[in-house]
Structure formats: structure tokens, C-alpha cells
Structure 1
Amino acid sequence: MATQTGAPPVSNLGPSPADLIDFDELLSEEELATRSRVRSFVDEQIRPNIAQWFEDAHFPTELVPEMGKMGLLGMHLKGYGCAGRSAVEYGLAGAELEAGDSGLRTFVSVQGSLAMSAIHKHGSEEQKQEWLPRMAAGEAIGFFGLTEPTAGSDPASMKTFARRDGNDWVLNGSKRWIGLASLASVGVVWAQTDDGIRGFVVPTDTPGFKATPIAPKMSMRASVQCDVELTDVRLPGSAMLPNVRGLKGPFSCLNEARYGILWGAMGAARDSFEDALAYAGERIQFGRPIAGFQLTQKKLVDMALEINKGFLLALHTGRMKDAGTLKIHHISVGKLNNVREAIEICREARTILGGNGITPEHPAMRHAANLESVRTYEGTDEVHTLILGQQLTGLPAYR
């Protein structure tokens, strides 16, 4: 069995070797405790197995109930069995999970920031009571059905349609790249109607629902993404999310997920850096550790600087989110910058590892491959660039 070796796990109580600015001084005791608890879970449950899970394209459903017990599912939501933690704590947890693997952090995001968040924000009291406690406990997995084969960055062009038939709704259409759909008990599906775009709570045992995992993949292999087909899926009138109409519904959930990515990407970058740093101290060439060479030290310094800046940006964004002052373009700054920098850090870490860096014993190449997916979902680099371009100029350039 392939296992990840290289850098030993960071002490649960200590800072990362990448920390050049005493970052932990900016965190409360409660925030540090949350980070430590999730880091321990990753060290014990994910690190020893992730190389094999990635190789086998296996998502460890056996960990879902444990994540529920830890309060990681719908972590930032209040009530209905959810933990009600702060945005900063949710971010710190996301960074630790993605230091294990993007696929595991993505599960928590799809479950909590997308599916549960949609029901929590826009659902009826009956929908909340039926699904949120079970999803928070990890007893039910959820999915979020927005993207389609021909509607990715332009969700307004979606073709999935829900028509009224008496008191029922009948859904027809296709969705693509839908995380966890083949494992889920329920999903939130967005569809065109005669009254605009609406969301629907869809139990996956409804006749006409079909989810097919997309395979093979070269990224996010320890996760599941699916094609979804909806063929005359009949739902009661009560299945519609009653409290939102239009794209502001799914976008409000996407912004929750995008926020988590700010932190997660830096977790993957930090993990790659720490492994490369440890390796550089042990790898002897020309009679001494390669960590003693100027070019290697420059690589390590450059990576550490970007990790420190990325975590500061994530923390500032989280503090604004907790204070209620966060704006949409703030999230785009973090998502665009931190994912882009994280990919470069992982690639640079691989160069320090040399040929050994392409083996599963080291995480950098796996993280880099995963981050190519993270770079694309929840808004591509191009979309976030245009959001920021409009913020700077006042001129939309989407069309």
C-alpha cells in the first residue's frame, strides 16, 4: 500500500515551519483548539491512507459519520444540529482538511456550504427539519446541482426545466461535475421555471433521477463528481425552496464555498512546503543537504512568503465575514490569489523533491493536480478576474 512519507505531521500545538510572522498570535484559544482537533483527525485518519485512496479513486465514506460527530458538516450554520462555529474556525478546519487532500475538504464544502447552506438559507421550516439534522450528523450526504454540460460559468443559460403539473413539479435536464451525487440521499437542484430559476430539494430515490460518476480523472481522485440525469422527476409542490428566486439563490451558496477555498488552498500549499522542507534537510548531494544551497533556500523562502500572505488574506476575509462586512469582490480576491499561488507552491515544492516528487510518498504533485480542479470550480480564474475588473473600473466585461 502506498503511504505518504516525507515531512512528519506538524505538532498539533505548534506553528507551521512556514510561519515567519507568528501567525498563531492572531488566533484565539478557541480557534487554535479547533485547528488542533481537525489537524489530529487528518494526521490519524487521512494522511496514512490518502495516497492509496487517490491511487484507487476512492472516497472514504466511512469517515463521513466521524466528520459529523466532529461538527464539521454545516459547521458554520446555526441550529438544526449544526455546530454554529465562526467563519474563521470553519476556514481553519478547511485548511487542515485540504492539507490532507482537496477531496476531503471539498466534501465538507459540498455538504455544508452548498447543499446544507441552500436549505438553511432558502428552505422551508419543514425542509430544514427533515434534512439538516441528518446531514449535520453525516447520516445523509447531499449534493448541489447547478453546473450543466453547456452551462458552467454562465449558469443563467441552464437548460434544466421544472414545469408545473397540478400541485407537482416535473424536472427534466442534465447536470455535470456534481460532487457526491452518486453517494447522496438528497440534493438541491436548480432549474428554469416559468417564474425564473428556482431550487428544488430532490431525494435521490425519486424515480427518474440518475447519477453516474465521472471516470477516469487525473485530479480529485479521492472524491466523486457525477453526471446527473433528470428524466420526468416528479416532486411535490413542497419540494421547491420557497424563499429565493433567481441566481442570487445558488450564488449565495457558491460564495460560502468560495470562502472555504481561500483557506483550503493554503492548507495544500503548506503541506507541500513542509514536505519539501523536511526532504531538503535530509537529501544529501555534493556532500551536504540540499537545504544548504542558495537556490533551494530561495525556493523555500518564496514559498513560505506566499503561504504567510495567503493565510493573512484568508484570516482577514474570515474576520470580515464574522463581522458581517464581507463583500463579494473580497471573496474573489482570496479565491483567485490563494489558489493560483498554491498551485505554484506545489509545483515548486515538487522541484525540490526531484524525481521522488512524482511518487505517492510525497504530496506536492497530488495537491497540484487537485488544485487544478479547485482553480476551475466555484468560479474560474477568468470569472474572478472579471469580477475584480468590474470592481476596479465599474464596467462589466462578461459579454
Structure 2
Amino acid sequence: MNAQDMLSTPINLDFYLLNDLLSDDERALVARVRTFVDTELLPVINDYWERAEFPMQLVPRLAELGIIGTTIEGYGCPGMSRLAAGMVALEMSRGDGSINTFLGVQSGLSMGSINLLGSEEQKQRWLPQMATLDKIGAFALTEPDHGSDSVALETTARLDGDHYVIDGHKRWIGNGHIADVVVLWARDVADNKVKAFIVEKDAAGAYPHGYVPEVITGKVGKRAILQADIRIDGLRVPVANKLAYAESFRDASTVLAATRSGAAWEAVGHATAAYEAAARYAMERIQFGKPIAAHQLVQNKLANMLTELTAMQLICFRVAQLADLGQLTGPMSSLAKMHTAQKGRWICSSARDLLGGNGLLLDNHVARHLTDMEVVHTYEGTDFIQSLLIGRDITGISAFR
């Protein structure tokens, strides 16, 4: 095969023909998202990522894609299968992790909390406008001193007449500085149970007194999605804004379990982009008179990258099937998240190696996916935490205490 043939060779990203398992509607949805990523997201994202700014200009187009709310049925949401929702996350992450996180916070965490734990009146009140992105959501659980052990959160809520008064501190809250609807988790001092409250902007677009967000700066990954550090002091939230069925931390865990597989799909998206970039580069980069793809070591690396990517795909497809059947367990989700985060991180690192110095340039996209994978490796439960959840399932013994 000559160099020209190599340059025109397509990159096989679906070695086991998993896309054949999609319905025609799902394939059309994937194609729609992929076109958006290729024609509208990729041409602009590096500039926003480098400046650490969120591309608000893309929000109307994201709304037009018809993907907000993913698996939620009714209220203007698309009611996708878990497989379709996973493929949307994969394709969006193949473009950029920050945009996928924005969508995950919107559809999975904030809208998901309201859908799972809200009353019918609350769902009707908030979900339709969130489905069109007329209202942006946030999910405020993590605190400065409580990430993996968020069950021990210290933010408190005290009933005072027809309001709850909330005091505390939240950190790493995606969209927390711009959201119109913030799902805020706090411990009710009356019964020491963790509950969820909706904080809303007023008609003028201002947060109520006592909710003070500040954007976290200096990140090396997910730079185009902004997280907030939020000081909460005497914040008054109407009783009607307490989510009706959020009565304990177990309910927060239910939301997190439902979204954990989304992180696994995102890892596949980053790994897909990195592998594709590395394979194309290997066929185009000429050194010592021939493409570097002609060397045995490079082919060995690409073969191992494809093997791990395919294993990641297989896990995520099976997780989606189990979720649609109602058979997905927490440890199953943990295994998927742990494996895909480990291997996605390795694939992105390997791609950076294969690109050499050019792998450091944003124009080649690999560096952005590499640093974003560092974030995915951490959120929705770190590698260590996932391993302990799986270990508890294996042994019946909890190693958390």
C-alpha cells in the first residue's frame, strides 16, 4: 500500500459492528449529533477552551438537536433509550468533554433529580423549560470537604415558617454561576436527613440573597465548562421548592447511580477521538522516508488502543441494555465507570505519545481530550471509590469504614 492509499484509508472505529444494534431512528440521531459536532462544535471549541469560556452561542443549536432530557419521557423530553442517550454522550464527548458535561448536568443531574424525586406539579413547573434550554440547570451536592464522602455533607436546612433557611458551602458545581434552576442538597436539621431544594433566579435573573457563586479558575481540563464555588448564607427557599420525594441521601445516590454510566460513555467518546486522531496521524506523518504507521511498534500501539476502545464500547453497550431492562445494578455501573476511565485515560495518553510534540497542540485536539479525561477519571466517583464499591459487592465487606 502506498502513502496515498494510506491517507485515504478510513479509520474503523466500530470493529465489532456495534452500530448495527442501533435502530434506524437511533442511527439518524447519532448522525445528527455527529454533524453538529463536526460542523459547529469542533471549529470553535479550541478557542473557548483556551480562554476558559463557555460557548453560549451553541446553546440554541443544542436545544434544536432534540436531545435535552435524554431518557426522560414527557415534559418536552425525547424519551430516548439508554443506548441512544449513551451514543449521544459518546458523540458529544468525541467533540468536547465540556459540552458533554454541560448536557450531562442539564439532562442527567438537574432534570434527572426533578424527574425522579419531584412531584407532578414540580415536574410540570420546571422540566418543559429545561428541555428547551430556556432554563439552565445545576446540581449542587459536592462540598469543599466532602466529595467522595458527600454523604457527610454539612450544608444545613432549617424550616422557618413557609421557607427553609439554608447555610453552607458547595464547590465544583457545573453551571452553578449561571443556572436558572439549582438542585441544592442540604441536611435538614429537624431529622438530620439529606434533602433537595430548588434555588431559582428571580424575574430579573438574579439569585436570591444568600446564594453567592464564584467561578473556579486555573483548571487544566474541562476548561469550556465553568464550575462554581458557592457560599450559602441565610438563603431562603420556599417550602414548595423542596423536591417532594427527596428524603434521604439514598435519593441522591439514586440520581448519581442513574448518571454514572454517562461518565463511562464520555470516556469512550474521548478515547474514540484520541484513537482516530492517532491513527490518521500515523498514516500521514512521514519520518525516515515512510509513514510512521509502517513501523511495527506503531502498529502494535494502534492495535492495543483499538482493542481497549472496543472493550470499552462493549461494556457500555451492555450497560445500556441492562439499564433498559431494569437490571443494571450500582456495582455494574461502577465497573463500567472504573474500566472506561482507566482505559480512556491510557488511550488518550498513547495518542499524545504517537503525535509527539504535535500532540501538545490544541489544533490536533488530542491534548484537550487527554486533560478532559483526567477530569472524567475523577468525577462520578474516582477509580479508588469505584473499586471499593465493586469490592464490597465481591466480598460483602465494606472497606469504607
TM-score (normalizing by structure 1) = 0.95
Q: 3-state DSSP class of the match of 2:233?
A: strand
Matched, 1:200 2:197: yes
Matched, 1:22 2:17: yes
Equivalent residue, structure 2, for 1:185 = 180
Match for residue 236 of structure 1 among 214, 219, 238: 238
Q: Do 2:246 and 2:252's aligned partners in 1 also have CA atoms closer than 8 Å?
A: no
Match for residue 384 of structure 1 among 383, 386, 391: 386
Q: Do 2:335 and 2:386's aligned partners in 1 also have CA atoms closer than 8 Å?
A: yes
Match for residue 43 of structure 1 among 14, 38, 46: 38
Equivalent residue, structure 2, for 1:3 = none
Matched, 1:115 2:110: yes
Match for residue 229 of structure 2 among 207, 227, 230: 227
Q: 3-state DSSP class of the match of 2:43?
A: coil
Q: 3-state DSSP class of the match of 1:325?
A: coil
Instruction: Label 1:214 to 1:267 Cα distance change in 2 as closer, same or farther (>3 A).
Output: same
**1:115-154 counterparts in 2 under 5 A?**
115-154=110-149
Equivalent residue, structure 2, for 1:56 = 51
Q: Give the Cα separation in 2 of the matches to 1:245 and 1:322.
A: 26
Matched letter for residue 296 of structure 1: V
Q: 3-state DSSP class of the match of 1:350?
A: helix
Matched, 1:104 2:99: yes
Matched, 1:77 2:72: yes
Q: Hey, which bits of structure 1, 4+ residues long, moved more than 6 A?
A: none
C-alpha displacement of 1:290: 0.3
Tell me the alpha carbon deviations over residues 197-227 of structure 1, each in whole angstroms, 9 at most, x when there is no partner: 1100111422211111100211110111110
Q: Do 1:188 and 1:201's aligned partners in 2 also have CA atoms closer than 8 Å?
A: yes
Q: 3-state DSSP class of the match of 2:363?
A: coil
Equivalent residue, structure 1, for 2:253 = 251
Matched letter for residue 22 of structure 1: L
Q: Do 1:19 and 1:304's aligned partners in 2 also have CA atoms closer than 8 Å?
A: no
C-alpha displacement of 1:251: 1.2
Equivalent residue, structure 1, for 2:336 = 334
Tell me the alpha carbon deviations over residues 222-251 of structure 1, each in whole angstroms, 9 at most, x when there is no partner: 111110111111111111111131112211
Structure 2 alignment gaps of length 5 or more: 1-5, 202-206
Matched letter for residue 23 of structure 1: L
Q: Give the Cα separation in 2 of the matches to 1:230 and 1:159.
A: 12
Q: Give the Cα separation in 1 of the matches to 2:325 and 2:25.
A: 17
C-alpha displacement of 1:309: 0.9
Instruction: Label 1:123 to 1:357 Cα distance change in 2 as closer, same or farther (>3 A).
Output: same
**More moved, 298-307 vs 358-367:** 358-367
Equivalent residue, structure 1, for 2:309 = 307
Matched letter for residue 329 of structure 2: K
Q: Give the Cα separation in 2 of the matches to 1:26 and 1:86.
A: 12
Q: Give the Cα separation in 2 of the matches to 1:126 and 1:211.
A: 28
Matched, 1:210 2:212: yes
Q: 3-state DSSP class of the match of 1:385?
A: helix
Tell me the alpha carbon deviations over residues 311-359 of structure 1, each in whole angstroms, 9 at most, x when there is no partner: 1110000011111111111100110000110010000011110111101
Q: Give the Cα separation in 2 of the matches to 1:231 and 1:311.
A: 45
Q: Do 2:155 and 2:167's aligned partners in 1 also have CA atoms closer than 8 Å?
A: yes
Q: Give the Cα separation in 2 of the matches to 1:99 and 1:16.
A: 14
**Pairwise CA RMSD:** 1.5
Q: Give the Cα separation in 2 of the matches to 1:42 and 1:76.
A: 21
Q: Do 2:11 and 2:280's aligned partners in 1 also have CA atoms closer than 8 Å?
A: no
Tell me the alpha carbon deviations over residues 344-375 of structure 1, each in whole angstroms, 9 at most, x when there is no partner: 00000111101111011112221111111111
Aligned residues: 388
Tell me the alpha carbon deviations over residues 249-280 of structure 1, each in whole angstroms, 9 at most, x when there is no partner: 21111122211111111111011111111111
Matched letter for residue 250 of structure 1: A
Q: 3-state DSSP class of the match of 1:49?
A: helix
Matched letter for residue 232 of structure 2: L
Matched, 1:172 2:167: yes
Q: Give the Cα separation in 1 of the matches to 2:11 and 2:323.
A: 25
Q: Give the Cα separation in 2 of the matches to 1:98 and 1:261.
A: 10
Q: Give the Cα separation in 2 of the matches to 1:62 and 1:119.
A: 26
TM-score (normalizing by structure 2) = 0.94
C-alpha displacement of 1:65: 2.4
Equivalent residue, structure 2, for 1:346 = 348
Q: Percent identity, please.
A: 39
Q: Give the Cα separation in 1 of the matches to 2:259 and 2:58.
A: 21
Q: Do 1:77 and 1:117's aligned partners in 2 also have CA atoms closer than 8 Å?
A: yes
Q: Give the Cα separation in 1 of the matches to 2:22 and 2:311.
A: 15
C-alpha displacement of 1:16: 5.5
Q: 3-state DSSP class of the match of 1:361?
A: helix
Tell me the alpha carbon deviations over residues 267-313 of structure 1, each in whole angstroms, 9 at most, x when there is no partner: 11011111111111111111110000000001100000111110111
Q: Do 1:197 and 1:245's aligned partners in 2 also have CA atoms closer than 8 Å?
A: yes
